[in-house]
Structure 1
Amino acid sequence: MSFGLFVLFILLLFVIYLVRHNGWLGSKAGHPYPPICKGLPLIGSALEFGKNPLKFLQACRQRYGDVFTVLLPGRRMTFIFAPAQELRQSFFNGSPSLISFTAGVEPFTCRIFGMSKKDFSLAHRSLLTALRSELGAKHIPQLAQKLINQYLLSFRTVWGKESEGDAYHLLTKTLSDASLRVIFGDEFANASPSLFKDFVDFDDWFELAATPMLPHFLLRPFVTSRKRLLETISQNWKYAKNAPIYKLTEAYGNDGNVPSLLLTALWATWSNASSASFWTLIHILADEKVKVKVLAEVEQTCPLLLSSKTELSVEWIFSHLPFTAYCVSETLRLCASVVDIRKVLEPMQFREFTIRKGDYLCISPAASHRETTVFPKSEDFVPDRFQKLGTHPNALFDKDLFTFGGGFYKCPGQLFAMVEIVLLTALVFYLYDVQLVDPIPKMKESQAVGIKRPSCSCRIYYLWKRRLAGMEVI
């Protein structure tokens, strides 16, 4: 073969590679591959996506349509946009032979929590099953009463009678103390005094640490905090024997991986609820009409809420604090995760496109929640939109809202999360006069996963306004 023919042969192979890699031809079934947002050589669209993922995806959708593929280092992410019912059918309830939640999140979670893929796959199913049972509706009355008791304790020890403080810190400390004692038990909490500080450090680095191609040796604060958390949990998890979380260890039955498994549960318990509680409080304070409605509701309900004679069932809480619950739902609409992910196991068709095996199939809850045809004034905080629909606050997440996911892998703590945020919001407004000191901060634009955090601190001023049995001196 002459040198010229050899060069021509190499060029032909290169062209074939480009055609197959970039989807210029359709699939073997005759359906085209989605259009590709290629970005830069080697890194793809990593810079644009990392800077502001929601803005980037909205721009891609405007340019390419409802189905497109984004190239990132080492992965292809195909995003689909559609009405809620279609997404639930194709994404959340898609055939397990075609798409997999576990395979989709393994590369991220295994790096974060230090478990092998095999162990994570087994543990994740145990985690879901155990938490659905222990945090389900039948246990809510007991859990809700414990939450209230812990909130009242935090008002004494963390908030005090009158002060000015960072709202995110106050709510994070209050929620984390309460949920740790409710789910992990008092003995475990008492034996783990450094847990909160180490977790804050761990969570601050969470998203960077989950990045597949970023070596952890560059993230020393994350590595150090994770090591401390796993050591603390390893030393103390048996103190949780009488707590709901212990059922999880019984279901899993592998002591060697219990610390990593419980760290997963701890992250799920703490990370998103704090941000959701913060934004709920801040949005209510920023809208006087909404605040007046919340105050009227809590004035009527909280005396009953604090009565030992009231059984705090799910229906009682949502029927007596419906507007407060709608405020939480609206917050979870506005601040939802930018990306939810599955792994494509076999070539699959979505509308007129074929999505390749090995792609990550993605939806964007944050973008879907901004569909103006479904949510008019979609960038505004309008809890009345749900009240007018008359839909149960918790049922909204089975319809148009994707904050808690869907299908088998829907968040098992959805009900508990709603209850803990509703109760905390109600008690703060019932027991304190609260005012904003700083302007409402923007959400952290670079965050792609989880409830959005604030981009900066936001102070509130608060003053105790009640005479409450056992809390006269605060």
Structure 2
Amino acid sequence: MTLMQALLDIIETETSEQSPNYGLLLLWASLSNAVPIAFWTIGFVLSQPSIHKAIMESISSVFGTAGKDKIKVSEDDLKKLPLIKWCILETIRLRAPGAITRKVLKPVKILNFTVPSGDLLMLSPFWLHRNPKYFPEPELFKPERWKEANLEKYAFLDGFVAFGSGKYQCPGRWLAMLEIEMCIILLFYYYDCRLLDPLPKQRSLHLLGVQQPEGQCQIEYTRRT
């Protein structure tokens, strides 16, 4: 049983005192992270015509060109659409939370400082993801950099810590990724989309949850036939 399954079992148990807590946690994770990342991913893709075209062509190669038929997306289908997952991960890299917090279990030495056990340590994925040592041209949206990640073995690129690290990573990370992948596939299969407004900048650094847009962004969409 995975940690995610265990959390869902707790939520579904009416007698569990922790059910409201975990239910609120899942609600917050979806609204503060998954939904904004879907917005940013769609915006980044539409703002770069070559990437948008490549995604549309890959979707057509798997599901056909018409957008009027109902489709079922299988695991094998997702494996044929790696560019979509790369776009999502690149979006997460650029719009990661400002900080994540972890409790220090054992004293750890960082340069000349020793952080004692019991203290809380804050790490900034937002700034680490802009370190050119790990991500050359860090401010550019470059999904192709994720070719180097071993995603089939659930390994991200070095320096990528949006979900935490080690055994304490976000338990819902792959569920969230799957939901966003499905959203993008279905949107671009059924609709032709284009930006009507420039993609907004992000607001001032947002510590908790994904970075939020500075303003609205309208798109035009028409049903594909």
TMscore range, shorter length: 0.7 to 0.9
Matching residue of 1:102:
none
Which of 431, 434, 439 does residue 190 from structure 2 map onto? Answer: 431
Contact 1:397 1:404 in 2 (8 A): no
Which has the larger displacement, 361-370 or 252-261?
252-261
Q: Classify 1:366/1:259 alpha carbon distance in 2 versus 1 (closer, same or farther; 3 Å).
A: same
Distance in structure 1 (CA, Å) of the matches to 2:216 and 2:152: 29
TM superposition shift of 1:254? 4.3
User: What's the TM-score once normalised by structure 1's chain length?
Assistant: 0.43
What TM-score results when the alignment is normalised by the length of structure 2? 0.86
**What is the match of residue 412 of structure 1?**
171
Deviations 1:382-406 (A, max 9, x none): 111223x263277343743111112
Larger radius of gyration: 1
Q: Is the 8 A contact 1:318 1:393 kept in 2?
A: no
After TM superposition, give the deviation of residue 319 of structure 1 in Å: 1.5
Matches within 5 A, 1:165-204: none
Q: CA deviation at 1:435?
A: 0.9
2:160 counterpart residue number:
401
More helix by share: 1
Identity fraction in percent? 31
2:213 alignment partner, one of 445, 454, 459: 454
Partners in 1 of 2:50 and 2:192 — Cα distance?
16
Helix, strand or coil: the match of 2:151? coil
1:289 alignment partner, one of 43, 50, 61: 50
Corresponding letter in the other structure for 1:413 = G
AA paired with 2:61?
A: Q
Q: Which amino acid aligns with 2:220?
A: Y
Q: Which residue of 2 is the match for residue 350 of structure 1?
A: 110
Is there any run of 5+ residues in structure 1 with no aligned partner, and where?
1-127, 135-243, 467-474
- 1:362 is aligned to 122
The Cα shift of 1:279 comes to: 0.6
SS at structure 2 position matched to 1:397: coil
Partner of 1:332: 92
The aligned counterpart of 1:100 is none
Partner SS, residue 342 of structure 1:
strand
Question: Aligned partners of 2:79, 2:106: CA distance in 1, in Å?
Answer: 45
Q: How does 1:11-410 map to 2 (within 5 A)?
A: 130-131=3-4, 133=5, 245=8, 247-249=9-11, 254-303=15-64, 306-307=70-71, 312-313=74-75, 316-344=76-104, 347-356=107-116, 359-387=119-147, 389=148, 391-392=150-151, 395-397=154-156, 399-410=158-169
The 1-side partners of 2:26 and 2:83 are apart by 29
Match of 1:421 in 2: 180
Aligned residue number for residue 190 of structure 1? none
RMSD: 2.8
Q: Find the aligned partners of 2:53 and 2:90 in 1 and give their Cα distance.
A: 17
Residues of 2 paired with 1:394 and 1:317: CA distance?
18
Give deviations 1:63-97, integer Å, cap 9, x for gaps: xxxxxxxxxxxxxxxxxxxxxxxxxxxxxxxxxxx
Which is further off, 316-325 or 289-298?
A: 316-325
Which one-letter code corresponds to 2:49 in the other structure?
E
**SS at 2:156's partner residue?**
helix
CA distance in 2, matches of 1:265, 1:256: 16
- Assess if the C-alpha contact under 8 Å between 1:347 and 1:355 holds in 2: yes
Deviations 1:281-329 (A, max 9, x none): 0000111111111111111123499545x6x23xx24411101111111
